[in-house]
Chain A
Amino acid sequence: MSTPKRSLGSSSLQRLYHGRSYTRRRVVIGVLILIPMSLLAMYFILPLFWLLVSTSKSTDQLFNTPMFAPSSLSGLVTNLRDLGQKEGGAYWRWYLNSIIYSTLTAGLGTLISALAGYSLSKYEFKLRGAVRFMVLVALLLPAATLTIPVFLLIKSLRLMDTYVAVILPLLASPFGVYFMNVYVGETMPNELIDSGRIDGASDYQIFRRIAVPIIGPGLVTLFLISFISSWNNFFLPLLVLSSSKLFPATLGLQMWVSKLISPATGIPPYPLIILGSALSVLPMAVLFPFLRKHIAAGIATGSIKA
């Protein structure tokens, strides 16, 4: 799905060719604008290219070979082997933790938000206005200002250093509820609920059999957004986790970096940090095609109504 309501139907093909007329002046301007645009593209791409090229270099090569010159593939194999062996395979453990945290947070969080958003959008009940207002106010409160209070709570509940401490606080997402509320309102006609009722379906059956398939693209969007923000999460795990076997990849890599300046720890593991960083971008790279389409369309839907 792209934007659900396009006021005047214009196909993407029309859009692509619309307004294309090539006078010489327009062609010249078009080419001139390409120069700053390409420079900007290089600004966005070159750091990533450097990261990619550097994954196969040794510490010595990192400091002494041209920064964008590719190295041999065998260097990558060596680095991968070293990464797998460092601290008893700690990195892959962190990687697995990241996958567990992100999948559970995004999966459960999306379901919870969908149920709440659907309820707020399709039912009239006494507290609807109050809950909607609460969600909107909560939207304006950044998660990070809550992180210290959440940490203090987790500490008092003696949940420190557990998987639950990282996952549970992220499941209730005001953004998710707000987004699903808008999305359900825009994509799901009330008539479908009425016809479901006439066919004798219960409210939960209507949600599962009729609503879920219709709001599917919105669910995918929300899942992706939550997955990314959970994969990128750093502040909360930093506060509530102390044993490194529970760390997500971001936290583990940061720990290695923080050891870089203390000279007692032997050769600085620059190549491993670089390879580890590049690998932790990998899931995003895999999700990227979906990401771009869904996030752009999805957030635009939510925001235009904001």
Chain B
Amino acid sequence: MIVSQRSWSSRAVPYIMLAPFLVLFFGFFIYPLLYAFRLSLFTGRTGRGTFVGFANYITAFKDGSFWSSILTVARFGVMQLLIMLILALALALLLDSPIIKARATFRLLYFLPYAVPGVIAALMWGFLYSPQLNPLLAVLGIFRHGKPPDILSQSNLLFSIVNIVTWEWTGYNMTLYFAGLTSLPLELYDAAKMDGCNEFQTAIRIKLPLIRPVIIFTWILSIIGTFQLFNEPFILSSLTAVPSDFTPNVYIYNMAFAYNNFHYSATLSFFLAFVTLCASLLFLYLTSGEQRRAGRRNRSYDARGVAK
């Protein structure tokens, strides 16, 4: 393409530019994974431990706590992703439609929580979940025989974290969708209007399919984020009791620091990385399959000569 010189020094240029990244990438990405994998093949609390092969993985596979933590984040993910992404999409489409006033202000207000560090958001909401600091909860108590709801109780913990994460990330996702929408050509909307689409139909039939790549991108990011859920439950554990196997990362953390079992902790993080990778790849595969089917549908339309 560009490099036509044959000299050694010019052939080395791309490698030299890549070198800092590659060195650090191998040092703090690949090597830790290999190191953790090696650790996971041993057992013992101190010293080098004894080699046990894949025994730790078999333990992990049968570990009810680990699977229950995966189940917790899966439940969390289904709830949180649906709420957040539907909300973000609806807001982006509304803010892109000309019937709404003060769109710039709304966009700014919705995006604001993204500026708050996750740890601070969790702290703030942790305080707001306390009925002493948040009298509004007492108002909600009217429906519960005057007793304010205990948002941080075991049964509500998952929902309280859903709320924190939704609060923090909805505006961010909305901003991405909105940026996708603004890059669509205006002429498209005129064409849709001529074909008799109303505002709502344009949004659902034209705009939504066109920003599909952005939507898939945000879903992948959210799925990955869901599996690594740690900060929020960890912060809330200072304010309420959080089970030691609440999310995979909380469990892995406790395995390393509360039980001092680094070998098993390494096994679990390796396992978790694998599960996360599978989940993202599965999602990518499913969505690309849908696209292939959609592609076939469109072609058959064309073959019959039906104008879209």
Bind each other? yes
Interface residues of A (CB under 8 A from B): 2-3, 6-8, 10, 14-15, 18-20, 26-27, 29-30, 33-34, 37, 40-41, 43-45, 47-48, 50-51, 62-63, 66-67, 112-113, 115-116, 118-120, 122-125, 127-128, 131, 134, 137-138, 140-153, 156, 168-169, 171-172, 174, 177, 190, 193-194, 203-204, 207, 231-232, 234-235, 238-239, 250, 253-254, 257-258, 260-261, 270, 273-274, 277, 280-281, 284-285, 287-288, 291-292, 295-297, 299-300, 303-306
Q: How far is the CA of A37 from the CA of B109 in the complex (A)?
A: 11
B25: contacting residue among A8, A172, A296, A304, CB under 8 A: A172
29 examples of A-B residue contacts, CB within 8 angstroms? A2-B182, A6-B185, A18-B98, A33-B100, A40-B91, A44-B110, A44-B171, A47-B124, A115-B17, A116-B18, A119-B13, A123-B3, A125-B15, A127-B15, A142-B227, A146-B28, A148-B253, A152-B32, A153-B31, A169-B28, A190-B2, A203-B13, A253-B123, A257-B238, A273-B123, A284-B115, A300-B180, A303-B213, A306-B213
B28: contacting residue among A48, A150, A238, CB under 8 A: A150
Beyond contacts A123-B13, A148-B253, A296-B178: 9 other A-B pairs, Cβ-Cβ < 8 A, are A6-B185, A40-B91, A43-B167, A47-B125, A48-B112, A51-B124, A146-B29, A146-B33, A168-B27
Cβ contact within 8 Å between A142 and B185: no
Cβ contact within 8 Å between B133 and A67: yes
User: Which of B114, B218, B252: most chain A CB closer than 10 A?
Assistant: B114
- B32 to chain A: closest residue by CB: A149
Cβ contact within 8 Å between B13 and A260: no
Cβ contact within 8 Å between A123 and B2: yes
Using A34-B100, A37-B100, A284-B116 as known contacts, say yes or no to A67 and B11 having CB atoms under 8 A apart: no
Cβ contact within 8 Å between A40 and B110: yes
**Majority SS of interface residues in chain B?**
helix
Cβ contact within 8 Å between B29 and A253: no
A44: contacting residue among B18, B20, B112, B189, CB under 8 A: B112
Q: How far is the CA of A125 from the CA of B11 in the complex (A)?
A: 8
Cβ contact within 8 Å between A131 and B22: yes
A144: contacting residue among B1, B109, B186, B230, CB under 8 A: B230
Q: Does B244 contact A (CB under 8 A)?
A: no
Number of A-B contacts (CB under 8 A): 288
Among B43-93, those with CB < 8 Å from A are 87, 91
- A127 to chain B: closest residue by CB: B15
Q: How far is the CA of A131 from the CA of B182 in the complex (A)?
A: 33
Cβ contact within 8 Å between A6 and B183: yes
Q: Does B239 contact A (CB under 8 A)?
A: yes
Using A125-B14, A231-B117, A250-B119 as known contacts, say yes or no to A304 and B213 having CB atoms under 8 A apart: yes
Q: Does B106 contact A (CB under 8 A)?
A: yes
What is the CB-to-nearest-CB distance from A228 to chain B, in angstroms, rounded to a whole number?
Answer: 8
What is the CB-to-nearest-CB distance from A238 to chain B, in angstroms, rounded to a whole number?
Answer: 8
Q: Does B187 contact A (CB under 8 A)?
A: yes
Cβ contact within 8 Å between B36 and A149: yes
What is the CB-to-nearest-CB distance from B255 to chain A, in angstroms, rounded to a whole number?
Answer: 9
For the side of the interface on B, what is the size category? Answer: 35 or more
Q: How far is the CA of A146 from the CA of B29 in the complex (A)?
A: 7
Among B244-274, those with CB < 8 Å from A are 249, 252-253, 256, 262, 265-266, 269-270, 272-273
**What A residues does B21 contact at CB under 8 A?**
112-113, 115-116, 172, 177
User: Which of B178, B252, B269: most chain A CB closer than 10 A?
Assistant: B269
**What B residues does A122 contact at CB under 8 A?**
1-2
**What A residues does B179 contact at CB under 8 A?**
3, 296-297, 299-300
Q: How far is the CA of A279 from the CA of B109 in the complex (A)?
A: 19
What is the CB-to-nearest-CB distance from B36 to chain A, in angstroms, rounded to a whole number?
Answer: 4
Using A112-B20, A203-B13, A292-B175 as known contacts, say yes or no to A63 and B125 having CB atoms under 8 A apart: no
Q: Does B128 contact A (CB under 8 A)?
A: yes
**What B residues does A299 contact at CB under 8 A?**
176, 179
- A170 to chain B: closest residue by CB: B28
**What A residues does B167 contact at CB under 8 A?**
43-44, 47
**What A residues does B112 contact at CB under 8 A?**
44-45, 48, 288
**What A residues does B1 contact at CB under 8 A?**
122-124, 190
What is the CB-to-nearest-CB distance from A262 to chain B, in angstroms, rounded to a whole number?
Answer: 10
